């Protein structure tokens, strides 16, 4: 191999490694921040919705309890938005009544903790019927 080809290969490989490192540095999520989430699911009349599934992105995080409350401690990247989806299916009780589904979404901004205590996120979410 001639010297110019080796130099060109060295420069190309170096540029590729530097580019990959820069991409990783800028796309990496920030440090994790402890956060406590407590969300109460209610129906349109204000009654608690027990047994509603809770999802974050494509991951199931459990169900609401008998009081319609879902609680969880999570470590999430600082500065991100935590979006939770709630779903509850009811089957028809009389005759051929179709199953109904209720859903809702709740978002929280996860800030920078700067201390060891977890940031608290509380709220309620009104579950509405899904229009088919």
In the chain, what are the domain boundaries? Answer: 1-29, 32-129
Spatial distance between the Cα atoms of 82 and 96, rounded to a whole number of angstroms: 38
| Predicted confidence pLDDT, tens digits, the chain (132 residues) | 576 776 556 566 665 555 555 444 444 556 888 889 999 999 889 999 999 999 999 899 999 999 999 999 998 888 889 999 999 987 765 555 565 889 999 999 988 766 667 788 899 999 988 876
CATH architecture of 32-129: Sandwich (2.60)
Output the DSSP codes for 32-93: EEEEEEEEEEE-TTS-B-TT-EEEETTEEEEE--TTSEEEEEEEEETT-EEEEEEEEEE---
Spatial distance between the Cα atoms of 126 and 129, rounded to a whole number of angstroms: 10
């Amino acid at each position: 191999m001639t010297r110019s080809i080796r130099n060109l290969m060295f420069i190309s490989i170096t540029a590729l490694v530097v580019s990959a490192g820069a991409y990783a540095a800028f796309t990496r999520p920030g440090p994790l921040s402890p956060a406590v989430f407590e969300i109460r699911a209610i129906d349109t009349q204000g009654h608690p919705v027990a047994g509603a599934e809770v999802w974050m992105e494509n991951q199931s995080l459990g169900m609401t309890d008998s009081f319609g409350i879902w609680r969880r401690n999570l470590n999430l990247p600082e500065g991100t938005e935590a979006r939770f989806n709630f779903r509850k299916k009811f089957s028809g009780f009389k005759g051929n009544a179709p199953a109904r589904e209720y859903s809702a979404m709740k978002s929280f901004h996860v800030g920078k903790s700067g201390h060891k205590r977890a940031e608290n996120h509380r709220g309620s979410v009104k579950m509405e019927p899904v229009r088919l």
